A and B are shown apart, each in its own frame.
Chain A
Amino acid sequence: MEYAIEISGLTKKFGDFVAVDNLDLRVRVGEIFGFLGPNGAGKTTTIRMMCGLMRQSKGTIRIYGYSIPEERSELIKITGYMAQRFSLYEDLSVYENMEFFGKLYGLNGEGLHKRIRELLEFLDLEDVKDRLAGRLSGGMKQRLALGVALIHRPKLLVLDEPTAGVDPPIRRAFWEYLRGLNKEGTTILVTTHYMDEAENCDRIGLMNKGRLIAEGTPKELKRRIFGGDLVEVVLQGRIQGDVIKGFLNVGDLKYKDGETVLRLVLKDASKELPSLLKRLDSMGLKVQSAEPINVTLEEVFIELVTKSEARVRGEAY
């Protein structure tokens, strides 16, 4: 099977309000798919419909071939789910929570205890296994929720903002877990507000006002904004712009400490950069350094959302 998730024409209306608007989305088996979008974009609503927690107004959903909501019971067997809001029992201990959900999946006896021990170790929760879930720190809560989602070794993990409100080091650790799971073959759909996290995803879907406004690998999305990769080249001496502007797409030119700092846009930096350097060299220009600039997804994101809103307004008038 190629696709873990296939959604087409998915729509959800709350009264007159369209929370999810004719959404098409495909997630391949084995990939980490990041679902981004501002507050109220409709990410949670989409996820809930995908999991059969909410009925769609229109559209079809297939998860590993099972159509939702009709074959929801099959979906549940293969899916691990982490809700946006902490939804485990605060008056049960870490261990009791895992035990309870494990039993719901039919695990019992030694098999269950072994699995719980495994997860406690994997998620570094052994020391707090007898602590009530309500007394855990934010980061521990999220790890526990991940543990519960993993109890039955799901093929598909659906995580709704698993790292919201968690410290950067713990967020990093969390992504370590996810990458580990992904290596073992788990498909992951994850929503987040943190753009730096999105870099960890194989592919990203950008959602705004119920619509998917962009989709692709992080690299693809960045290129789409600037029409290519951004590269910073530092040349010795003050070079006049006219000398190079003829053959280069110069975004920005500055002088600093007797050096010239250029920002260039290349279609594909890895391919074009060596030949460009050769050419500069042949012109007698001394290249101090040449490095790709790391555009943050945040910039991409803001750009795309603004553009899409401008387009929507354009349509309206």
Chain B
Amino acid sequence: MRHIRITAVVIKELIQLKRDPRSLVMIAMIPLIVMLLFGVGYGGGTGKISIAVVNLDKGSLSWTVLDSIMKTPSVYVKAYANSIEEGRELVKDGTVSATVVIPEGFTEELMKGASTQVLVIVDESITTISSTIRNAMLAVTYKFQQELVRSVGGSSVELIYSSVYGPKVTNLEAFTPLVIGIVLQLVPTSLISIAICKEKERGTFEQLIMSPISRYDIIFGKLLAFFIATIADMLITLMVAVWIFDVSVRGPLIDAMVVSTLFLLGSLGLGMLISVLSRNQLQANQAAIFIFIPALLFSGALMPIDMLSPSARILANLTPMYYFVSAFRDIMIKGFGLWQITWEVFALSVYMVLMMVTAPLVLRLRVD
């Protein structure tokens, strides 16, 4: 009896989804569009920050510095200026993000064995850009000093980097877990968030609950139908990442799918809870989007959790997206399997179960 009813709800929901162009666009197009935009935005491009150079030195050592700047992968020299003021203007008007000034008598001072300075004028308005420049310039000076020591003699300490999860993780790869997380939260949650309140708004709920249907039949029937529909989203995002963007998943693909499925089910449960609690479709849509904002902020993907304040860290620890991004990243980049990320998998499972059981408990089979 019960399976007849649940199957009936699943079939009905799928037919309705099939006939609703807006839902279809949401299921199929949004993940594709988000993934493609992201791939185009982060995959291609030079990825270099433009700088200007002011060389006031007349000696040869300044050329060694410039050479080393040009070889730095994260910056490129866009302009040359003749004075400090001119260089400062270029930064101010946004032509370049930084200006490197090699002072007069740079070579001369170094030859004498004295220390000298290189001035870097930085646009501090975008922190990632300014910190990239700082890092780049540190590397440049460090390299220059190594060479100087080698040519004139003396002792020095050399840094040797050895990466664990190399070769270097590209921007695209670094953000893939977040983008998949975004699609897997936004699409299912907003899609299902109107599932119940639409019935209430249209009056169909009244007829529905005059039949021998239980709240579990209603909720789980709908969840199952939307799960079947949105599983496509998980596959689309993963396939686009792997086949179109050449993102390599170093861990087992099946484990990545398991984690994605857990998160997807949690998102559906969350959307269902929103739907049960909302008065109308508009309210439900707004709630789905509103709840997405903290998920994004505390995902740990925009800023590492360790860098957040203690209270923000607590919030992050309560954000399912954080566990998903971290679990997915571990599988994708570190090549972990599920057994190495049991904590994240556990947290995602708790989230999923909690969402799934709350909605039917809150649903009332009444029209007031």
Contact = CB atoms under 8 A, between A and B. Distances in A.
B207 A76 contact: no
A52 B211 CA distance: 12
Contacts of B12: 89, 92, 96, 100
A105 B212 contact: yes
Given A54-B366, A104-B213, A106-B1, A87 B7 contact: no
A103 B7 contact: yes
Interface in A69-84: 73, 76-77, 79, 81, 83
Contacts of B252: none
A48 B7 CA distance: 28
A104 B8 contact: yes
Contacts of B1: 106
A101 interface: yes
Interface in A175-197: none
Contact of A83 (B5, B20, B203, B366): B203
A103 B206 contact: no
A108 B3 CA distance: 11
Contact of B20 (A73, A91, A99): A91
B15 interface: yes
Nearest to A100: B12
A51 B210 contact: yes
B15 A85 contact: no
A103 B16 contact: no
A10 to B, nearest CB: 15
Nearest to A14: B368
Contact of B366 (A53, A86, A96, A100): A53
Contact of B15 (A48, A76, A96, A106): A96
A73 B212 contact: yes
Contacts of B211: 76, 101, 104-105
Nearest to A12: B368
Given A54-B366, A103-B4, A92 B16 contact: yes
B8 to A, nearest CB: 4
B368 A88 contact: no
A286 interface: no
B366 A108 contact: no
Contacts of A106: 1, 4-5, 212
Given A73-B212, A100-B8, A103-B8, A53 B15 contact: no
B21 to A, nearest CB: 11
Interface in A37-58: 48, 51-55
Contacts of B368: 53-55
Contacts of B205: 87
A81 B7 contact: no
A88 B204 contact: yes
A92 B204 CA distance: 12
A91 B16 contact: yes
B206 A83 contact: yes
A148 interface: yes
Contacts of A92: 12, 15-16
Contacts of A104: 5, 8, 208, 211-213
A53 B203 CA distance: 12
B367 interface: yes
A103 B209 CA distance: 14
A120 to B, nearest CB: 18
10 contacts: A51-B210, A53-B206, A53-B210, A54-B368, A87-B207, A88-B204, A89-B12, A92-B15, A104-B211, A106-B1
8 tightest Cβ-Cβ pairs between the two chains A and B: A103-B8, A87-B207, A104-B211, A87-B203, A81-B210, A85-B203, A53-B367, A106-B1
Given A87-B205, A87-B207, A104-B5, 12 more contacts: A53-B209, A54-B367, A54-B368, A73-B212, A77-B212, A79-B210, A87-B202, A89-B12, A90-B202, A92-B15, A106-B5, A106-B212
